[in-house]
Chain A
Amino acid sequence: MGMASLREWLRRFCETVRPHRDDSDLEQELRLHSELAAEEALRTGRAPEQARRVALIHMGGIAQAMEALRDQRGLPWLDELLQDLRFALRMLRKHVAFATVAIFTLALGIGATTAIFTLVEQVMLRPLPVVEPDRLWRVGDRVGCCYATGYGQNEWRFFPWEAYKLFRTNTPAFEELAAFQVGSALLGVRPQGSGGAVMTANGEFVSANFFKTFGVAASRGRLFIDEDDQKGAPPVAVISFHTWQEKCGEASSVVGRVYQINGHPVTIVGVGPRGFFGAKVADSGMPDFWLPLTMEPLIIGATSRLEDPRTAWLDLIGRVRHDANPRTLEAQLQAELHAWLASHQADMTAEERAGWQKQTVHLAPGGAGVSLMRMTYADGLRLLLWASFCVLLIACANVANLLLARGLKRRDQIALRAALGASHARLVRMALVESLMLAVSGAAAGIVVAYAGTSVILRVAFGQPNTWVPVSAAPSTLVLLVALGMAMVTGVVFGMAPAWMTSQVDPIETLRGVNRSAGGRRHWAQKTLVIAQAAASLILLSAAAMLGRSLHNLEHQDFGFDLSGRYLVKINTMLSGHNREQLVPVFTEIEDRLRAVPGVRRATAALYAPMSGFSWRHDIRVVGKPERGPKDDVSSAWTRVMPGFFETLGNRIVTGRPITDEDNTTARPVAVVNEAFAKRFFGKENAIGQHFGPASRRKAGVYEIVGVASNVRYFADFGRPVGPLYFVSEAQTAVFDEPSLQAREVGSHFPYSIVIWAPGHPPDLEEQITKTLADFEIPMYDVQSYAEVIHADYGQQNLLASLTWLFGALALVLAAVGLYGVTGYGVEQRTGEIGVRVALGANRGQVVMMVLRGALWPVGIGLAIGIPAAIAVGQLMTSQLFDVKPSDPRVLFVATLLLVMAALVAALIPAHRATTVDPMVALRHE
């Protein structure tokens, strides 16, 4: 194609939009031409009439020539497209009600899907907002909480500081290798010199090159330099941009200010980059402050893990060099791990020594960071995405039905067009352009719906004060593109069939004025859509019913104690400034004061109480039992309690005795175990008097069992039976050789929970508790009744069930509206027939039955397809379900009942309208 034809194309393109010469101008030229030809003919001596005829034949008709000229002037296809667009717009404007219903329906469908996809994109797909995230690799490929002890992780995912330093020096394939703590450190923060209350915040200990590894720069002040991460360096911290914005109002004066963090003066040297939230994506504990690793002993104190080679508490992410091969790198890291393990053979347990050569480490892509959110929410999000697709499908079916019905009404118009020479292709395209326009408008409205919906979801899920998640409702470009793509696809899907069917009009038949032919195919298309809608709604409703049932079961399961009248107070004694020796007297006094509140029967502190969200766990050994095999699960949860704990909670002691005031420093360390513990480790033997402990064999028998308590559920893990748990005394401290065990032994003395038994439900309970704890300077988070605690524990399941119900309700309403539309249209079409029937003696009941039968049999088929499909979907959902069978008749009954009720209502209205048909009017109409 030469320049000339390119130029022609451009001219034609421009002329399509804005013609250079209008039609009358062209026509004038043609007319003049034909006149000249006629004159010419006259001159050659023909009769005027004949001359004109010759000229006309010669010119082949002005109209045809004009058509050819017009085609040459612009680009015909573009011209026609613009025509179609203008026509579609005019049609939509003319039928506002139709357009509104269609766009609203699509907005709900596309909005629901886009809202969920906004979350999916951020939680599942988006990389960290850092430089070249695809060059980041993570050492270890599993996500978890919160640290690991010993040399036997098997597949290593967390690392001690010592191993990190070794990797960092010996692995040149890493441009930088950063370490950051797993989980977060609770900090008590207050500005230096102010007497204000201590604010709680999340800290994260990171290596000095943490920010450098991600290639990010400070937005104020500076980030860490190597000198900050040296022992004895002046304590410094970097505040996250988000926290700076929320808590400090973006004040630049924060940089350089000194804060008391856990009682130690720390200088804030800088503010993190905007949008940077660290390398973890979690739904709680996102860091407010970053602190150098070497500050950990200072800030954490006795339970410091920095120097202990047995405690793996760091996640590692490195930036690899451009030419590095991940596979070679992985092999090298594995070799380095083995070399490091080899140097620790001396302090390994016998079992670790046997297995250290089998330890492995994997390299995994680290561009998305360490996403706990992905792990937690993946299943739920996937389910919601499917649910929203169902809603979208139903919405599409509705719009398709609307278009079909309208296509029937427009049949004569279309027949006229066909008769005037419009091609099938053109008619189909016209209808498609219209449906695409609807879809794009629907998508635009849907994006607004999605933004609102996502905002609400985020507020409900993570709206608690002091919780921040790195997820926002604002749609990204990808989300917008997907929404638009969805609109295009749905536009074609719901527009294609109606468009094709409308174009299949036989002009003769229609123009004959017969608007009575029912159009069997169309009839079928409409019914099929209703069947699909009914089936999809049923699946969604039954999924919602199953999740709702599961949530109900979770919240009403047997927790092993009576929830009513019991309250949980969440505190942080670590931040109070009390030392360990003061804790027993302090809490004895607190308990006495709380017990004096009218309506309160008992109050007891514990390291953590049931369902409080905490979990401490050890592998244990029992004296006199054989060493465990590599596959045996010998782990047990444990907690530390004040005397009176079991009475306060209402936890029955099955045999032996509870922990009492006598179990203090002067007595031997004792433990009470739960029934699950006794059963797992002693079977039918008597557990009382047995010795066990978390230490290696030499000191295995540190605790003597004095009692067995009935099982109480402590963790919101679902579906699993209550596992082993033991209780030790707040007033006793065992002595261990291993520093990591010793650190935990000491750390566990700081209670995080107070359980209150207040059957009188005193109205001023929270006020009294707040006042009492303030007197002892113990930071308190909240007071909740146990029913509220349980509800919050299953918040995610609750949200999942609620959203599925919402989608189910949406689907049901849309399907009902669809059925109503189809039935109403059917009645309208059959007015004449109904008139004849009534004239021949049919009564109201027979007419109603006729309409209902016609409306409900597709719903019946929908049910027949939907019920087995719902059961199948339930099978796929079992990981989300607690104590609910997919074929649970109650669930299916509820879903079916809802659907049938909605269908009845939707069909009864037009059925009723059918009975009002006056036979005289109907027949005269014929």
Chain B
Amino acid sequence: MGTLYPGLMRLEQRGLVRSEWSVTEISRKARFYTITAAGRRQLAAGKAEWDRMTLIMHTLLQDQS
């Protein structure tokens, strides 16, 4: 919790997620976090970066064996 919420807040401050108070389907008050367009772009970029990284690592490790 001490890591999760500051992380969410950082994402929000960077404009990657948006949050608001709302009510769940079982009528409980909760704070809803939604990914924004910028967030989606950032996610895609991050994912691409990750894929590239794993590919590199994979290739490297295969060469070794």
Minimum C-beta distance from A12 to chain B (A): 6
A30 at the interface (CB under 8 A from B): yes
Q: Which of A18-65 contact B (CB under 8 A)?
A: 26, 29-30, 32-34, 36, 58-62, 64-65
Q: How far is the CB of A28 from chain B (nearest CB, A)?
A: 8
Which of B13-35 touch A at CB < 8 Å?
A: 13-16, 28-31
Contact A8 B1 (CB under 8 A): no
Q: Which residues of B contact A33 (CB under 8 A)?
A: 1, 5
Residues of B within 8 A of A30 (CB): 1, 5
Q: Say whether A11 faces chain B, with CB atoms less than 8 Å apart.
A: yes
Q: Is A7 a contact partner of B13 (Cβ separation < 8 A)?
A: yes
CB neighbours of A68 from chain B (8 A):
2-3, 5-6
- A71 lies within 8 A of B1 (CB): no
Query: Could you tell me the distance in whole angstroms from the C-beta of A890 to the nearest C-beta in chain B?
Result: 74
A69 proximity list for chain B (CB < 8 A) = 5-6, 9
Contact yes or no, A71 B6, CB < 8 A: yes
CB distance from B17 to the nearest CB of A (A): 12
- Within 8 Å CB of B5, what residues of A? 26, 29-30, 33, 65, 68-69
* Contact status of A60 and B15, CB under 8 A, knowing A72-B9, A73-B9: no
Q: State in angstroms the CA–CA spacing of A72 and B30 once bound together.
A: 21
Q: Is the interface of A mostly helix, strand, loop or mixed?
A: helix
CA distance A288 to B3 in the complex (A): 77
Provide the bound-state CA to CA distance between A29 and B31, in Å: 7
In angstroms, Cα B4 to Cα A36, docked, is: 15
Min CB distance A580 to B, Å, is 92
Question: Is the C-beta of A4 less than 8 angstroms from some C-beta in chain B?
Answer: yes
User: In the complex the two chains form, is B29's CB within 8 Å of A7's CB?
Assistant: no
Chain B residues whose C-beta falls within 8 Å of the C-beta of A477 in the assembled complex: none
Instruction: Please count how many residues in chain B sit with their CB below 8 Å of the partner chain's CB atoms.
Output: 17
Q: Which residues of A contact B29 (CB under 8 A)?
A: 32
Q: Give residues of chain A (45-99) contacting chain B, Cβ–Cβ below 8 Å.
A: 58-62, 64-65, 68-69, 71-73
B1 touches A4 (CB 8 A): no
Q: Which residues from chain B contact A71 at a C-beta distance below 8 Å?
A: 6
Q: Tell me if B10 is interfacial: C-beta within 8 Å of chain A.
A: yes
Is residue B54 within 8 Å, beta carbon to beta carbon, of the partner chain?
A: no
In the complex, A517 has a CB within 8 A of chain B: no
In the bound complex, what is the Cα–Cα distance between A4 and B5 (angstroms)?
18
Does A59 contact B1, Cβ atoms closer than 8 Å? yes
Q: Do A64 and B15 touch across chains, with their CB atoms under 8 A apart?
A: no
Say yes or no: is A343 at the interface (Cβ < 8 Å to chain B).
no
What residues on A are CB-neighbors of B28 within 8 Å? 32
> Nearest Cβ distance between residue A19 and chain B, in whole angstroms?
12
* CB–CB B6/A72 < 8 A: yes
**A7 close to B1 (CB less than 8 A):** no
Residues of the A chain whose Cβ atoms lie less than 8 Å from the Cβ of B6 = 68-69, 71-72
Contact pick for A12, options B3, B13, B30, CB 8 Å? B13
Instruction: Assess whether B42 is in contact with A4, with CB atoms less than 8 Å apart.
Output: yes
Q: Report the separation of the CA atoms of residues A250 and B25 in the bound assembly, to the nearest whole angstrom.
A: 83
Q: How far is the CA of A33 from the CA of B31 in the complex (A)?
A: 9
Query: Which B residues lie within 8 Å of A253 (CB)?
Result: none
A16: min CB distance to chain B, Å: 12
A29 to B12, CA, bound (A): 15
Which B residue's beta carbon lies closest to that of A59?
Answer: B1
Q: Whose C-beta in chain B lies nearest to the C-beta of A15?
A: B13
Q: How far is A40 from B29 in the complex, measured between Cα atoms in Å?
A: 16
Contact A5 B1 (CB under 8 A): no
Whether the Cβ atoms of A8 and B2 lie closer than 8 Å is no
A72 to chain B, nearest CB (A): 4
- Using Cβ atoms and an 8 Å threshold, which residues of chain B touch A62? 1
Interchain CB contact under 8 A, B10 and A65: no
Asked if residues B14 and A4 are in contact (CB atoms below 8 Å), the reply is: yes
> Given the complex of chains A and B, what is the CA–CA distance between A7 and B28 in angstroms?
32
A36 and B15 CA atoms in complex are apart in Å by 27
Map CB proximity to B onto A208-227 as digits: 1 under 8 Å, 0 otherwise.
00000000000000000000
- Least CB separation from A2: chain B residue: B14
Chain B residues lying within 8 Å of A58, measured Cβ to Cβ, are 1
Q: Judging by beta carbons under 8 Å apart, are A7 and B14 in contact?
A: yes
A14 shortest CB reach to chain B, Å: 10
Q: Which B residues are in CB contact (< 8 Å) with A60?
A: 1-2
Interface residue from A8, A36, A59 paired with B10 (Cβ < 8 Å):
A8
Give the CA-CA distance A65 to B13 in the complex, in Å: 18
Contacts of A34 in B (CB 8 A): 1
A5 and chain B: residue at smallest CB distance = B14
Among A559-618, those with CB < 8 Å from B are none
- Chain B positions within 8 Å of A64 at CB level: 2
Q: How far is the CA of A71 from the CA of B2 in the complex (A)?
A: 11
6 contacts between A and B (CB under 8 A): A4-B16, A11-B13, A30-B5, A59-B1, A64-B2, A69-B6
Name 14 extra pairs, CB < 8 A, besides A5-B14, A30-B1, A32-B29: A4-B42, A7-B14, A29-B5, A30-B5, A32-B28, A34-B1, A59-B2, A60-B1, A61-B2, A64-B2, A68-B5, A71-B6, A72-B10, A72-B13
The 10 A-B pairs of least Cβ separation, nearest first, read: A59-B1, A72-B6, A4-B14, A8-B13, A11-B13, A65-B2, A8-B14, A68-B2, A65-B1, A68-B6
